[in-house]
Amino acid sequence: MKNLKKRLKQGETLNGCWLNLGSSLTAEIVGQSGFDWVLIDLEHGAGSEKDVLYQLQALEHTTAGAIVRVESSESQRIHRVLDMGAEGIMCPKVHNPEEARKVVHGLHYPPHGGRGVAKMVRATGFAQNFPQYYAEAQETILGVVQIETVEVLNHLDEVAAIDGVDVLFIGPADLSMELGIFGQFDHPRFKEALRETVNAAQKAGKATGILFFNPDDYKRYHDLGIRMIACGADATFVADGARSLAKKLDAFRAVEKTISQS
């Protein structure tokens, strides 16, 4: 475990990014790049649960803690990736406190939740470390719920107060879409939703997170009090690098063509 939950509780800012290619190789490359955490995306990413296992193995000896975004709050989806060794779970589009409690129920063993007990899994060292894992799970497994709907904005204080909800993570694209202002991140209503989320989290002693793709936005969100910050994804890193290099090569080719014709 990379102590993500403890570090957020202490007020540290943690920098991360998305992994949506389903590749263990890009996971390893990104994990070795200096990020505090990465998000393996099962909601929109290209990979399956089997790919998650390989990505977790690739990340094991890097500095990056591994969080997995599951498709829903169904306990079975949560159990499986935790047993594989995920350090935390992100659940998309949590609408209300009932759904948030369902997420937490799947995160933790009884008496704190309803997670099924399986010793012969990767998370416990295949039964070698189960007593330690069980004893520490409550304090190490990170519970992240995404703030992406209009409904949840009416329940922010209730959701933030739930024990086991550690981070209120804003999904800008979905939230702005739900608000009818898609992509308008400078819109007063979107900014208000950000402030409301941060305030609710801070009152409950919890953290707030957000994903963005322009590094220049870092200070803007950090100044609001957001401490779990994600910027970019492995797919964008590959695409941006490839396009940038192709553009440079095209420019060189154009120059050489001009010289040869002169």
Query: Which candidate, 227, 224, 165, 166, places its Cα nearest to that of 195?
Result: 224
Q: Is 79 a residue of the active site?
A: no
State the Cα angle at 217 between 242 and 224, rounded to 5°: 150
How far is the C-alpha of 216 from the C-alpha of 202, rounded, in Å? 24
How far is the C-alpha of 253 from the C-alpha of 2, rounded, in Å? 47
For residue 131, whether the previous peptide bond is cis, meaning omega lies within 30 degrees of 0, is: no
Task: Tell me the HSE value of 78 on the side-chain side, using a 13 A CA sphere.
Answer: 28
Residue 49 DSSP label: H
Active site residues: 44
